[in-house]
Structure 1
Amino acid sequence: MAGHVRWGIIGAAKFAFEHMGPALHAASGGCLEAIATQSPEKIAKFKERFPHLRAHESYDALLADPEIDAVYIPLPNVLHVEWALKALDAGKHVLVEKPLAMKAEEFDAIIARRDATGLHAAEAYMIVHHPQWQYAKALYDAGEIGRLLSVRGVFSYDNSADTANIRLNPALGGGGVPDIGVYSYGCTRFLTGEEPEEVTRADLDWENGVDVYAEVSARFPSFRYHAINSMRMFAHQEMQFHGEKGLIRMTAPFNAGVFGEARVELHRTKMRIEEKRFPAVNQYVMQVEAFNQTVLNGDRYACPLEFSKGTQAMIDMVFAAAKT
């Protein structure tokens, strides 16, 4: 390794072009060096933005590139586990777009391969690297809202007009819960440190084999949880953590800087609201920088595979409850 992490991207996804490619390029401790895709049009598009990129016509060719240390994988969901394992076998650190797997037990093979190789592997769950979530967790841990009783959240958008969207394709692992439920569920686990005991309600609407609306209630050891995720609603996102002494409200908890400015509100007695804003933070860059420092220096990573497996376990519980 040349004193920094040399990155390659497996698959020229739109999200990689718009967000993660620029983040890999901008993050300290690393550089974006190569991309693999069979599409000449996509190669040309990437090279227009990143003229220095080496282009590989196959994923295997990129994995064989000796000048690549780590790969980012934004392939369709059902391909994540396969190519994460191939990347680790090729000696590459790997950052896989969420959801990394379609079932919690599928994480086990990647965890085992990570441990056997000593390489770093993680799901691209970027929100825990954003200082708004670290601040909100600090408020919670300090007891600023007292005993937590209720968590409420919503994450919605409408992609009904985008009929070619892979999120609408069941064969590729589509669906609203895998795409955005992972945020609503995972952020609650991150902030509270608790795991769900039971999904008490899972009311899902389906279209062509994928969930497009999910209203989910769950019981955690010390609080109740309720969230809505939908690919058929007006775009909105918000999380509220409601305790005996106060309430934490987050206005752009998931797409900070894209959906809107990240703000954390602490609601106290007598209608007092203390607000902290995070106007200029790129959570994708912060995620890559954290990954780079783990690879280079062994720094603790905020989102290990074991954490991501726990979120997938809750997703599995939601689908199981929906069947009953």
Structure 2
Amino acid sequence: MTQSPTDPQTGTDAGPLRIGVLGASHFALEHMARAIHEAEGAVLAALATSSLEKAAPFQAFAPDLEVFLDYQAMLASNAIDAVYIPLPNHLHVHWSLRALEAGKHVLCEKPLAATAGEIDALIAKRDETGLVCAEAYMIVHHPQWQRVKALLASGAIGELCRVEVGFSFDNSADADNIRNRPETAGGAMGDIGVYALGCVRYASGEEPREVTHADITYENGVDVTAEVSARFPSFDYHGYVSMRMAPFQEARFHGRKGVIKVAVPFNAGVAGMAALEITDADGVMRCEAFPTVRQYVCQVENFVASVRRGVAYPWTLEDARGTQAFIDQVFAKSRG
């Protein structure tokens, strides 16, 4: 029997977490709104959008959805406990702060901010209000990455020597895409660099000592491709991200006694099946697959557990700040 969620402060039954979506983005429609609708302990309660037309596809699978035509009106509603924010990148900090000020818990899409320093205001407001505020960094909720972290910690591949990560897609034909627009803080580093850089921090538990190489290509004031090398305390890192290359994603952790290859490390279940290929020093490989895990649903359920039962959230604002600081170092290095 499933227990009802409880309020961590009072210990009383608080019912399902009523979540409102701030902005009718395509990503919210295809992934996160559906995950909220399906997650245990959560209710997709509301959507704030500029038009009823944009709300219609959401109402198709959540007919009881309340629609607000004003963002602040949804934040003022007593029928909403928390908000999920999938707005363009340059609006993340602003609306996260407004939501916290309105007494709502916040799950905000990545990248949380344009620079690491901007996240300090969110940390301060989180601490002031006692509310949960987190970046929607979904990969840490997936068991394939939890498994990588555990394998590295256990010494399964010996001393870690090198990490290589690649993540790319091509949206060059979509000039209006917010990722291709400087005024919406677009760019490959913010969109997918958070994965290529953040995953190695999460899995290894280490922070970069130095960015040794950063080569960034720009189009229309937006970074579209980046090659990055860095030194961590116990290993070297090389990665690349691009919005101008054929779709590809892979992460490889090379140790003295073995190699872990993470297949479909970021878009698990969308770009293919999540799996690990673990090869020992004798060349013997075993595969661990995760065919049924839905990482967005896992993310929502962990958010609910954090809000309702005080369970530690797997990706804190400090974690998000660490990845953004890494990105900041990459841009600084590229400028010389």
Query: Match of 2:310, as an amino acid?
Result: G
CA offsets 1:105-129 (integer angstroms, 9 cap, x no match): 1111100110111100000000000
Q: Aligned Cα RMSD in Å?
A: 0.8
Aligned pairs (5 A) from 1:129-140: 129-140=141-152
Query: Match of 1:279, as an amino acid?
Result: P
Query: Match of 2:267, as an amino acid?
Result: N
Shift of 1:270: 2.2
Aligned pairs (5 A) from 1:165-184: 165-184=177-196
The reply to whether residue 219 of structure 1 matches residue 231 of structure 2 is yes
- Provide the residue aligned with 2:207 in structure 1: 195
Shift of 1:4: 1.8
Are the counterparts in 1 of residues 276 and 289 from structure 2 also a CA contact under 8 Å?
yes
- Provide the residue aligned with 1:30 in structure 2: 42
Shift of 1:131: 0.3
Are the counterparts in 1 of residues 52 and 67 from structure 2 also a CA contact under 8 Å?
no
TM-score, normalization by structure 1:
0.99
The reply to whether residue 303 of structure 1 matches residue 315 of structure 2 is yes
- How far apart, CA to CA, are the structure 2 residues paired with 1:39 and 1:101? 27
Shift of 1:276: 0.3
The reply to whether residue 17 of structure 1 matches residue 12 of structure 2 is no
- The gaps in structure 2 that reach 5 residues or longer are 1-6, 8-13
User: Of 118, 124, 129, which residue of structure 2 is paired with 1:112?
Assistant: 124
CA offsets 1:249-306 (integer angstroms, 9 cap, x no match): 0011000001110011111122200110000111000000000000010001110100
- Provide the residue aligned with 1:160 in structure 2: 172
Aligned partner of residue 205 in structure 1, secondary structure: strand
- Provide the residue aligned with 2:11 in structure 1: none
Q: Moved runs in structure 1, 4+ residues, more than 4 A?
A: none
- How far apart, CA to CA, are the structure 1 residues paired with 2:106 and 2:248? 31
- The gaps in structure 1 that reach 5 residues or longer are none
User: Of 113, 125, 137, which residue of structure 2 is paired with 1:125?
Assistant: 137
Aligned partner of residue 282 in structure 2, secondary structure: helix
Query: Match of 1:283, as an amino acid?
Result: Q
The reply to whether residue 65 of structure 1 matches residue 77 of structure 2 is yes
Which stretch of structure 1 is more off in the superposition, 300-309 or 35-44?
35-44
Query: Match of 1:158, as an amino acid?
Result: D
- How far apart, CA to CA, are the structure 1 residues paired with 2:237 and 2:331? 16
TM-score, normalization by structure 2:
0.95
- How far apart, CA to CA, are the structure 2 residues paired with 1:161 and 1:140? 40
- Provide the residue aligned with 2:302 in structure 1: 290
